[in-house]
Amino acid sequence: MSQPKRVVLAYSGGLDTSIILKWLQTERGCEVVTFTADLGQGEELEPARAKAVTMGVKPEHIFIRDVREEFVRDFVFPMFRANALYEGQYLLGTSIARPLIAKHLVEIARATGADAVAHGATGKGNDQVRFELSAYALEPDIKIIAPWREWDLTSRTRLIEWAEAHQVPIPRDKRGEAPFSVDANLLHTSSEGKVLEDPSQPAPAYVYQRTTDPEAAPDAPQIVEIGFEKGDPVSVDGEALSPAALLARLNEFGGRHGVGRLDLVEGRYVGMKSRGIYETPGGTVLLVARRGMESLTIDRGAAHLKDEMMPRYAELIYNGYWFTPEREMLQALIDKSQEFVTGTVTVKLYKGQASVIARSSPHSLYSEQHVTFEDDAGAYDQKDAAGFIKINALRLRLLAMRARR
């Protein structure tokens, strides 16, 4: 394989990716193009531009894009239509961001004539898989550089020493050992490593950044009404909002009431288990509300089939297979199920919990006439239940007869 000449780097402006930038220039002899994504991580991104310039990147080769609306509209909302939870708990906040970043890396590579992309994921984690499977799916001939799998800078001390030797600016607060690693976007924050590596020890309170401690949350509940159209949320408390603005509003509400905390030991795709602290306030509120909306509008058979498919769908996203035919096939099934998922759901937020307390829809399958304990005016003949039960009991009776013989 020929040596790449120009590479697009997923660049945060932080120390690690700045070291990677310099390493690509000095050790691999590459011209570097940087891509910095605004995914709603809450950090000022323009300093990344200035830092890239000081490190020799041409101004026309520095890309900073606000992808918040695209992220929520085209990735988060389709995933949420499945009510996707990895291993029954994780709302996939990091997993779903990686294919979007890879998509832009490949687009920028095409636009700038780059023949490679690079990322800062380590050789121990899932993100290397997610970035690279996505990139290959979109551009089969792209070259990928993963410095953490190549260099010998295996400790924080060696990284700092290498940075100093190559004039990489080191912020004062980066010279010490970080207590844990954080990934953040509009959907969640993920904290891993260092003080969190022993799962037998509770996470320190300072790890949580996006949610109030439920015990310290307001003593009065907050009532929130969320409007849906064909499976996607479109309004909060009657106000129509864009996808990103809506998720940000639910983050604010959920975070205030301590909703969406998760302490999880998960099975990584690469084989090991890891412990993560996740905060997904708006996503948790949205999941609860969506299930409330679906309970009213999706037929039992369709709902149960959808729930059977969900773990497979969630695993595909977690493992990095967003741009695959099997994910798209499942997405088509899921999207078909959302045809009548329209209406409003009222959710109560209180002390770390989000609970559905009311729901309504113009496409409701709920028939009060059929379920009432009062006179149903002939809507349902209770005598029919006897034959229904006998037919369904036939195989059980035959089994029991054989056992008795």
Catalytic residue list = 16, 98, 127, 181
By the 10 Å C-beta count (0-12 exposed, 13-18 middle, 19+ buried), 72 is classed as buried
Nearest to 200 by CA among 265, 280, 124: 265
- The 10 Å Cβ neighbour count of residue 309 is 17
Nearest to 147 by CA among 265, 53, 16: 16
